């Protein structure tokens, strides 16, 4: 029976203290800190050990530790944590939690929870759940884990959390609010650093597995190879940033509430599956006066560029090829779409409730002499709960379509 532990004193200070002054128990094999209180063991062969992690969590009190041995891995459970506990695995490679949950594998509803020492993954044949660890309360520490093949490995919806020293495989982080201060450092996505910047400026990033920029100014992301994470590059409330010459594969570029940024000369391709989110190469949402130019956006199962409630953007000289939809505009006005190639998309363009967008000199799959008709819709009756909306067909025109494709 593997219950060789030693009592030590631990002051766990990581920006804010998980517990003010805490005795801890350290497994001699793994050196994982475990907060004092009762220790509830899961797996292994000891008397009174639990078979299920959730049963131990349910029986625990605040500041108890649930220690999970690797003997009985994998643990096929979906977990709810609503107490201030430490959940510790014996070792991160061998202590495995596999989720076949529809939405969340581990949901944290209590403050000051610690999770360390696990591999958290889906089964080999599924991409569910949507979230590996879903953090709803503040003061959580997630450290020293492997999170694999879950679309959003960790989703953060609170403040003063610490996410450090984790390894993400075909997965990543959703921590996108500019209002929440969190510490996210020394994590890796597909073997490359996860870059998280909040309130930063004047930096050049060239190597990354995922990039999250919150309220940043003049950050340049260039020549990076980013793949197999939903938000490859995410920017919220950013200005004067540049995304230049990157290779983005099976992930996307997403801008929200951001203006005067440039997305230039990137390859964005092969987005083929999503469990929860839309399949989109580049998204502008509530983002104005940005430039999308010289990109090669191809072979995506969804939309190449989605422009949503975003005005005054320039989309020019892009090669948009073999996507299910080339460009989709929703409630977006006064954008300029010019000198792009639309080639072999299932549908080149669709728009809804847009006005004053300027289409000019685009190549539409073949040379054209006459203006190109672009079809869309306007809303007559807004959709309600359980009732569809009513829409009227609407039209726009590229008055001078290109006769041959542009070299991009």
- The predicted-structure confidence for 14-34, as pLDDT tens digits, reads as follows 333 333 323 344 443 334 444
pLDDT recorded at residue 27: 41
Query: What are the tens digits of pLDDT across the range 47-89?
Result: 899 999 999 999 999 999 999 999 999 999 999 999 999 999 9
CA pair distance 81, 105, nearest whole angstrom: 11
CA pair distance 28, 2, nearest whole angstrom: 10
Long-range contacts of 322-328 (CB under 8 A, 24+ apart): 322/298, 323/281, 323/297, 323/298, 323/299, 324/279, 324/300, 325/349, 325/350, 327/303, 328/303
Burial 92-124 (b: 16+ CB within 10 A, else e): beebbbbbebeebbbbbebbbbbbbbbbbbbee
Query: What are the tens digits of pLDDT across the range 380-399?
Result: 999 888 788 899 999 999 99
Question: Is the confidence at residue 236, as pLDDT, over 90?
Answer: yes
pLDDT recorded at residue 324: 94
Q: What does the mean pLDDT of the chain come to?
A: 89
Structure tokens at 105: 């594998």
- Closest alpha carbon to 406 in 367, 372, 371: 367
**Residue ranges of the domains in the chain?**
1-189, 193-408
Q: Say how many residues make up the chain.
A: 408
pLDDT recorded at residue 70: 95
Least confident among 33-42, 132-141, 344-353: 33-42
Question: Is the confidence at residue 138, as pLDDT, over 80?
Answer: yes
CA pair distance 358, 339, nearest whole angstrom: 11
pLDDT recorded at residue 194: 98
CA-CA distances (angstroms) from residue 248 to 170, 283, 297?
A: 13, 14, 10
pLDDT recorded at residue 274: 66
The pTM of this model reads: 0.89
pLDDT recorded at residue 62: 96
pLDDT recorded at residue 279: 87
Q: Which residue has the higher pLDDT, 100 or 158?
A: 158
Question: Is the confidence at residue 117, as pLDDT, over 70?
Answer: yes
CA pair distance 342, 322, nearest whole angstrom: 9
Question: Is the confidence at residue 184, as pLDDT, over 80?
Answer: yes
Cis peptide before 129 (omega within 30 of 0): yes
Query: What are the tens digits of pLDDT across the range 306-354?
Result: 999 999 999 999 999 999 999 999 999 999 999 999 999 999 999 999 9
pLDDT-derived band at 126, boundaries 50, 70, 90: low
Report, as an integer, the average pLDDT of 273-293.
88
């Amino acid at each position: 029976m593997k219950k060789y532990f030693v009592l030590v004193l631990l002051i766990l200070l990581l920006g804010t203290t998980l517990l003010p002054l805490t005795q801890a128990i350290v497994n001699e094999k793994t050196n994982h800190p475990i907060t004092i209180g009762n220790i509830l063991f899961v797996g292994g062969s000891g008397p009174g050990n639990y078979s299920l992690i959730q049963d131990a969590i349910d029986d625990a009190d605040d500041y108890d530790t649930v220690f999970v041995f690797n003997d009985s891995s994998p643990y096929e459970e979906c977990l709810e944590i609503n107490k201030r506990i430490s959940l510790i695995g014996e070792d991160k490679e061998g202590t495995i939690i596999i989720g076949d949950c529809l939405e969340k594998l581990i949901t944290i509803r209590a403050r000051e929870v610690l999770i360390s020492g696990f591999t958290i993954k889906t089964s080999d044949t599924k991409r569910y759940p949507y979230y590996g660890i879903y953090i709803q309360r503040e003061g959580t520490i997630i450290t020293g884990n492997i999170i694999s093949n879950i679309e959003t490995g960790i989703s953060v919806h609170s403040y003063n959390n610490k996410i450090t020293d984790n390894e993400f495989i075909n997965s990543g982080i959703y921590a996108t609010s500019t209002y929440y201060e969190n510490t996210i450092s020394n994590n890796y996505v597909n073997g490359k650093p996860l870059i998280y910047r909040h309130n930063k400026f004047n930096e050049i990033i060239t190597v990354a597995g995922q990039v999250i920029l919150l309220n940043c100014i003049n950050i340049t992301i260039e020549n990076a190879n980013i793949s197999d994470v939903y938000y490859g590059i995410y920017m919220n409330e950013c200005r004067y940033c540049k995304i230049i010459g990157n290779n983005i594969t099976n992930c996307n570029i997403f801008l929200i509430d951001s203006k005067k940024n440039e997305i230039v000369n990137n390859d964005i391709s092969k987005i083929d599956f999503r469990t929860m989110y839309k399949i989109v190469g580049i998204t502008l949402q509530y983002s104005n006066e940005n430039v999308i130019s010289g990109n090669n956006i191809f072979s995506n199962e969804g939309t190449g560029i989605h422009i949503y409630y975003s005005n005054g953007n320039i989309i020019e000289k892009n090669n948009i090829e073999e996507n299910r939809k080339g460009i989709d505009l929703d409630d977006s006005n006064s954008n300029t779409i010019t000198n792009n190639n639309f080639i072999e998309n299932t549908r080149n363009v669709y728009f809804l409730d847009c006005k004053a967008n300027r289409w000019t000199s685009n190549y539409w799959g073949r040379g054209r002499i006459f203006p190109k008709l672009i079809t869309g819709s306007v809303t007559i009756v807004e959709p309600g709960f359980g009732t569809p909306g009513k829409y009227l067909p609407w039209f726009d025109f590229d008055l001078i379509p290109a006769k041959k494709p542009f070299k991009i």
